[in-house]
Amino acid sequence: MEQIKIGIVCYPTFGGSGVVATELGKALAQEGHQVHFITYSQPSRLDFLNENIFYHEVEFRSYPLFEYPPYELALASKMVSVAMNERLDLLHVHYAIPHASAAYMAKQILKTQGITIPVVTTLHGTDITLVGKDASYEPVVTFSINQSDGVTAVSEDLKRETLEYFKITNEIEVIPNFIDLEKFKKQKKDHFKKAICPEGEMLIVHTSNFRKVKRIGDVIQIFYNIQKEIPAKLLLIGDGPERVHAEQQCRDLNICHNTRFLGKLEAVEEVLSVADLFLMPSEKESFGLAALEAMACEVPVISSNTGGIPELNVQGVTGFMSNVGDVEDMTRNALFVLDKKNLPKFKANALNRAKEFDISRILPQYESYYTKVIEKTRVKALG
List interacting residues with ligand GMT (CB under 6 A).
15-18, 20, 95, 124-126, 129, 154, 177, 209, 213, 284-289
How far is 49 from 365, CA to CA, in rounded Å? 24
Of 228, 221, 237, whose CA–CA distance to 325 is shortest?
Answer: 221
- Rounded least distance, CB 286 to ligand GMT, Å: 4
- Rounded least distance, CB 251 to ligand GMT, Å: 26
Q: At what angle do helices 96-112 and 138-147 cross, to 10 degrees?
A: 50
- Rounded least distance, CB 295 to ligand GMT, Å: 13
- Rounded least distance, CB 13 to ligand GMT, Å: 8
Q: Would you give the DSSP letter of residue 315?
A: B
CA dihedral sign of residues 258, 351, 25, 151: negative
CB-nearer residue toward ligand GMT: 218 or 285: 285
The 173-174 sheet, strands edge to edge: 53-57, 34-39, 5-9, 90-94, 119-123, 150-153, 173-174
- Rounded least distance, CB 292 to ligand GMT, Å: 8
Burial class (CB in 10 A: 0-12, 13-18, 19+), 324: middle
CB-nearer residue toward ligand GMT: 20 or 338: 20
The answer for residues whose C-beta is within 8 angstroms of residue 361's C-beta and 6 or more apart is: 178
CB-nearer residue toward ligand GMT: 91 or 213: 213
- Rounded least distance, CB 210 to ligand GMT, Å: 10
Look at the chain and count its residues: 383
CB-nearer residue toward ligand GMT: 224 or 238: 238
CB-nearer residue toward ligand GMT: 24 or 117: 24
- 162 close to 168: Cβ distance less than 8 angstroms: yes
CB-nearer residue toward ligand GMT: 52 or 282: 282
Of 325, 318, 244, whose CA–CA distance to 288 is shortest?
Answer: 318
CB-nearer residue toward ligand GMT: 18 or 43: 18
CB-nearer residue toward ligand GMT: 93 or 202: 93
Distance from the Cα of residue 20 to its chain's centroid? 6
- 237 close to 271: Cβ distance less than 8 angstroms: yes
Q: What are phi and psi of 224, to 5 degrees?
A: -55, -45
- Rounded least distance, CB 111 to ligand GMT, Å: 29
